[in-house]
Chains A and B, each alone.
Chain A
Amino acid sequence: MNKIIFLGCLSSTKYKDTCENAIKVIKFLDNEYQELENPPCCGALAHQIAPIEEIRDHIKLVNNWFKDNDVKKLITICAGCYNYLTRYYPKHLGTDFNIKVMHLLQFINRPENLKKLNLKYPGKKLKIYYHDACHLRNAEIPIIDEPRNIINSIEGNIVLGEMENNSLNSLCCGAGGGVYSIFRESSDFSSKLIFDQMRMPKALLTACPFCYTSLIRIREENNIKTPVIKFEDFILNIMEGVDPISV
């Protein structure tokens, strides 16, 4: 049985450190998971605009890549990959798609993994917020409680704040669907709104590389102090006893 780590094209191209951190966390929990070379893009972005026949062909190609590598289980750190692989792959491939897909948050949240991680934060009070990415909360199997449960499992003085719009009502960052490449005004408005909804935050966590891209741009352009931290970076820092919100 082949267990793979599917990092997603945005993370593996632009956020290499995060990928390494995610791999460390996953391998610590289950050493059988491995990263394969040259994984293809899942196609989520093309799904917005490509003709159905081309999408199907691409999905088949990716599925054949999975089959060639005998993939049975997959963990992704990308919200887009998670939504796309769990909703649209079974829709287009039916029973020909036989892979158990998990997002990193679901994997970490397993009771045995939380126990093994035994996360402890010895520092002073830390108020953090978690932003629910659309592709996680609107997915076929929504991921909403998992990140909250993981944060609450950390021993120490970490307080999880909630924005007015959270969980199912969360705000989209405004960068999805390729809009980021054509109308940045969308994330100018929506990502800023996310920052505006936090009260005295020390950090904003996200588990989506697309949201991350948009949120860090808005943070920089608006001189916002609150750092934006990717969930896997946060977890690894806690594991290694490093300041979890250092960027």
Chain B
Amino acid sequence: MSEKGEELYNKIKDKLVELQSENSAYAQFNEIWKMACAIKYKSYDLRYLYEDTSREFVDEYREHLIKMKKDFVENIDEYVDKCIKRMESTNHFRVYLAKTNQEAQRIFMEELGDNKVIYKSKSLEAKDAGIMDTLKKNNITIKETDLGDVFCQLLEYDYPSFTLGPGIQFTPEEIVAKIKEKYGVEVEPEAEAIVNYFRNTYRKELLKDVKVSLTSANAISAQDGSIVLVENEGNISIITRATEKHIVVAGIQRIVPSVFDALLCAKIQERIINVDGAYISFISSPSNTSDVQGHRVFGMYGAKEVVIILVDDWRMKAVKENLFYKDMLKCIGCKSCDLVCTASRAFGNIYASKYGIGAINIVRDYIHNGIEAAVADGLFLCTGCENCTNWCPTGVDLAEMIRELKRIAVDKDLCPPPLKEYKEKILKDKNPFK
């Protein structure tokens, strides 16, 4: 193994030692995460909420979803063109197709103009495109609105976390202590009291002060150019309406052929992550009215402008050059793969990248930052159980992508020696155990 490989291997080993120490950030996250995903994994049977299990719900539409995503990848140019045309001609969106992440960052800064504050939902796609890093570099104040992300910001948490519940690792005591320290307000260390505190303070700010807001899109319908957003808190509803300018940053893989497909993607995500009572928004135009003698005016009560930054970067290239990670384009971000992952359950935010926990974010890190980054994310913790591939509703072969990353790591001499020895024994001696 190369010196670099050894360094990365030892870093993971060190993190695993830290995991054993009760107060470490890894142990704290893992404590709640392993419970959450074990419960989730066994309780895909959510019959107490619905008439069918999540698995049955997914199975009913899986064939359609796989076919739909395959069709999208095969005809990606056509769908992107169609989608942009619809958005511009029918929906009155201002649309950009950024060829690279850098271009997306530049466009975003231009759209931001003189504004120094941005309110955002999770917006994972913006993180993927490096926009969050650009905002930080330019000293733009980033205001998270998802409560979990608000906690992460408040507690200055910079470890990878579960993107759908980014604050689950904090205890109520930790949260209220920080509120007291930062705002001088005493709040009971209970969930209801904490939520009430933010409802009574932050909600008012959101309804009053937002000039520019940022969201991603859970799906975008090429048929009519609608943006689909799923949420449970209502933060997306507020910041996409009570704003002057709503900027959407999304990779082109978020585009799906039809309105039905977009709704289906939203519902699948809602069911898998069990966001019961969620809001699903279809945004097909900036806020407008024609009530003054049929004269259409934009910017009634909702957003005056809706700006869409579609990001290509690695995506078209992956299709055209048939790159091994082109299956990433089929991902709808439902997180099934995280919830059923053996390595994720055991190692939580050690098996993770800066984009979030789990294998899919390790592939993402490889795409943006190369193989050493993927190895540092714990690539070799994968047991090859193939649960991810087996449970994926859209047919992403994540297990194969991870295997390919391992092969690349071996080629770069970043593979831990015992594993390499197995390989050589199999291929030379035809038995690794002799």
Contact = CB atoms under 8 A, between A and B. Distances in A.
Contacts of B41: 165, 169
A9 B42 contact: no
Contacts of B193: none
B114 to A, nearest CB: 51
Interface stretch (A19-27, A177-185, A222-230): A177-185
B427 interface: yes
Main SS of chain B's interface residues?
helix
Contacts of B387: 134, 138, 172
A45 B342 contact: no
Contacts of A38: 430
Interface in A128-155: 134-135, 138
Please indicate which of the listed interface residues A43, A52, A135, A182 has the most CB atoms of chain B within 10 Å of its own CB. A182
B238 interface: no
A95 interface: no
Given A41-B431, A49-B419, A185 B407 contact: no
Contacts, number: 137
A186 interface: yes
A177 B382 CA distance: 7
Given A9-B433, A13-B434, A178-B418, A49 B406 contact: yes
Interface string B403-419: 10011011100011011
Interface in B338-377: 340, 342-343, 345-347
B241 to A, nearest CB: 40
A45 B432 contact: yes
Nearest to A133: B385
A61 to B, nearest CB: 8
A176 B383 contact: yes
A242 to B, nearest CB: 28
A93 interface: no
Interface in A153-191: 164-165, 168-169, 171-172, 174-179, 181-183, 185-186, 189-190
B189 interface: no
Given A9-B433, A48-B384, A174-B342, A54 B427 contact: yes
A45 B422 CA distance: 7
B55 A168 contact: yes
Interface string B50-66: 00000100000000000
A176 B9 CA distance: 18
B38 A165 contact: yes
A46 B403 contact: no
B383 A175 contact: yes
B340 to A, nearest CB: 8
Contacts of A40: 430-431
Contact of A186 (B38, B55, B342, B409): B342
B148 to A, nearest CB: 25
Contacts of B16: 183, 185
B346 A174 contact: yes
Interface residues of A, number: 41
A18 B390 CA distance: 30
A172 B423 CA distance: 22
Contacts of A193: 38
A13 B418 contact: no
Contacts of B409: 49
Contacts of B32: none
Interface of A: 9-10, 13-14, 38, 40-41, 43, 45-52, 54, 58, 134-135, 138, 164-165, 168-169, 171-172, 174-179, 181-183, 185-186, 189-190, 193
Given A178-B380, A181-B416, 5 more contacts: A46-B426, A48-B384, A54-B427, A169-B42, A190-B346
29 contacts: A9-B432, A9-B433, A9-B434, A13-B434, A14-B433, A48-B384, A48-B403, A48-B419, A49-B403, A49-B415, A50-B407, A51-B411, A58-B426, A134-B385, A138-B387, A138-B389, A168-B390, A169-B41, A172-B342, A181-B416, A182-B418, A182-B419, A183-B12, A183-B380, A185-B347, A186-B381, A189-B34, A190-B345, A190-B383
